[in-house]
Amino acid sequence: MIFNSIEFAVFLPIVFALYWFVLKNKFKAQNLFLLAASYFFYGWWDWRFLSLLFLSSTIDYTVGFYLDKTDNPVQRKRLLLVTMSVNLIILGVFKYFNFFAESFVELLAKFHVEAGFTTLKIILPVGISFYTFQSMAYVIDVYRKEIKASKDFLTFLAFVSFFPQLVAGPIQRAKHLLPQFHHARIFKYEIAVTGLRLILYGLFKKVVIADNLDTFVDEIFSHPEIYSGWVSITAVLFFAIQIYCDFSGYSDIAIGTARLFGFDLTENFRTPYFAISLREFWQRWHISLSTWFRDYLYIPLGGNRKGEARQYFNLFITFVISGLWHGANFTFIIWGFIHGACMVAEDFIKQRTKIVSPSLVKWSITFSIVCFAWIFFRAKNLTDAITIIQSLTHGFDMNALSEVFDKVYFSNVFVNVLKGCLLFLLLSELMISRIGFANLFEASPRLLRIGYYYLLILLIAFVGLNDNAPNFIYFKF
């Protein structure tokens, strides 16, 4: 079940009504109901995945429970090793087995050795990287004695499987979300309204912007040898916008949906494309994952406490592993490599020079690096990525770009409407970056707010209806 589906449009109001009107003021019953609703939501894709979700949650709950019972450092390390091993093995088998097996077969073939095994046809469970990281972080926090272990098994299951953020985050820390399950939630109209605003804006970004740009992007990235010049540049730029609107749109809907049930989820995006440095970009992009890698990988590796060389190594390796987290493909590793190397270079230059560059120059450099790295993120393989990069420097024909628009969208009217939607997105994002999403509405006259709502609804209804709309991009991670 996905957010932009008829099924979810039926599911959400039913769950909302039962949660608030039938189970009102009974927060334990609400927790149990949310657990059932979340498992139903997740099982809609494939009920077999539920056993994996339950297994991972049960192991981490059990390990956390026993960690709280002992102060013996040896026993505590063994318990931590158990949960780390199980979670990483689950990820390794379902997400990376075929990747490493295929790479090994190719390596042997170069030495004219035929491998005696083949890859397995393993289906990647939706959202496995997200709920595994969330559950694993809980155990690490209990091990560090930053939080107490949960004593309520069903509540812990509800925390891990909470359906608004189960499939693609934001990844929630136990210290932030888990306590919210342990006390009564009170329905607040004002909070619910802010949630609906986020849902509406998230749907606009997803179905109006991201899904329609995907049509153009997919055509060029599926046939990179055919296109060049402005066509390729436009495809790279469109993908940068697409992946932002797709993923931040999901996060908006997730956070907004959680608010409808009285829960507060952490912010995941903060207008990242206005960043004027890569460091700032990663403080604004996929914040829940960035801080996860900072707290559970970069800092444990030594962070910046063991000298400059070690700091740069820690920073670089963190980004490479982050790239691997995104997918079992060398393209993702290179994507992480680019960000890691550029982050190190940026920090190195900043420490040794006192050159003050205009903000526009710094933004241009940052945005260009981010877009260049997106080529590897989007390309199916390294060959296609290299072909796209080579095509960026020749064949600058505006007529070719117009022909591709005609081929992809079939209508000049639709192309103009899409351009208007992109301009509307840009203006909205500029306002959000300056005054924040909440103030964008609260500081506006009531008539202007209503007009904004109706405009989004009309755009979603008439521009966003797409029978072949793709899934959210981050579902495959």
Nearest to residue 276, comparing CAs of 349, 364, 374? 364
How far apart (Å, rounded) are the C-alpha atoms in residues 26 and 13?
19
Residue in 374, 390, 384, 312 with CA at minimum distance from that of residue 347: 312
CA–CA dist 310, 297 (Å, integer): 14
- Which residues are CB-contacts of 115 (< 8 A; sequence separation ≥ 6)? 104, 105, 108, 109
Q: Pick from 212, 236, 215, 213: which is nearest to 224 by CA?
A: 236
CB 262 within 8 A of CB 186: yes
Judge contact between 206 and 168, C-beta under 8 A. Answer: no
The CA distance from 31 to 441, in Å, is: 32
Handedness of CA 344, 347, 353, 358 (dihedral sign): positive
Distance in angstroms (rounded) separating the CA atoms of residues 276 and 278: 7
173 closest CA partner among 133, 202, 231: 133
Residues 128, 94 contacting (CB under 8 angstroms)? yes
Distance CA 180, CA 264 (A): 8
Residue type, 165: Q
The distance in angstroms from the start CA to the end CA of the chain is: 16
**Position 161, amino acid:** S
Catalytic residue status for 112: no
Sequence-separated (6 or more) residues with CB below 8 Å from residue 258: 162, 164, 165, 195, 264, 265
Out of 223, 286, 326, 394, which one is annotated catalytic? 326
The residue behind tokens 């939630």 is 185
Query: Which regions of 134-208 does DSSP assign to beta strands (E)?
Result: none
The single residue listed with the structure tokens 């932030």 is: 176
Would you name the residues annotated as active-site residues?
Answer: 326
